[in-house]
Amino acid sequence: MTSTREPRMTLATQLVLGTLLSDPSSDHYGLELSAEAGLPSGTIHPILARLEGLGWLESSWEDIDPRVEGRPARRYYRLSAAGADSARAALARVSHRRATATLRPAPSGH
C-alpha cells in the first residue's frame, strides 16, 4: 500500500531517493546506500524506515547463514513501482521550488 503522504524532503532524504532512483529495480542494502549517498548509516536507516512506512520501499532480509558468510545478514531495500513514481515527483517538486526560489527578487529594503 502506497501512501499519498510525502516524507519531509531533507537533503539527506533527497540524497537517499536519488541513490535509489539511480537503479530503481535493484536491491540496495544500508551500508551500500550510505556510501553512495555520502551519509552515515545512522542517518540512512531512519530515512529507509520512514520511506518503507509510506509504502515507497519494500524490504527483505538476505537469506544467508551469517556464520558461513562471516558477516551479519543484510536487509535489502527496493523502491516499489508507486514509490519510484512518488520519489521522482517529490524530487521534481523540490527541484522546481529551489529553481523558483533563486529567481525571486530580494525583498526591498535589504
- The share of the chain scoring above pLDDT 70, in percent, equals 88
Assigned domain for 100 exists: no
Does the pLDDT of residue 2 top 60, yes or no?
no
Assigned domain for 6 exists: no
Assigned domain for 37 exists: yes
List the grid coordinates of 59: 524490504
User: In this structure, what CATH number is given to the domain that contains residue 68?
Assistant: 1.10.10.10
Q: What mean pLDDT is predicted for residues 33-59?
A: 96
Structural domain including 50 reads 11-92
Assigned domain for 59 exists: yes
Q: How many CB atoms lie within 10 A of CB 91?
A: 16
- The share of the chain scoring above pLDDT 90, in percent, equals 75
Does the pLDDT of residue 77 top 90, yes or no?
yes
- Cβ atoms of 75 and 57 within 8 Å: the answer is no
* Integer Cα distance of 53 and 22 in angstroms: 21
Does the pLDDT of residue 57 top 90, yes or no?
yes
- Give this prediction's pTM: 0.81
Assigned domain for 4 exists: no
Q: What mean pLDDT is predicted for residues 95-109?
A: 72
76 Cβ contact list (under 8 Å, min separation 6): 27, 28, 29, 59, 60, 61, 62
Assigned domain for 85 exists: yes
Assigned domain for 105 exists: no
Quote the pLDDT of residue 104: 59
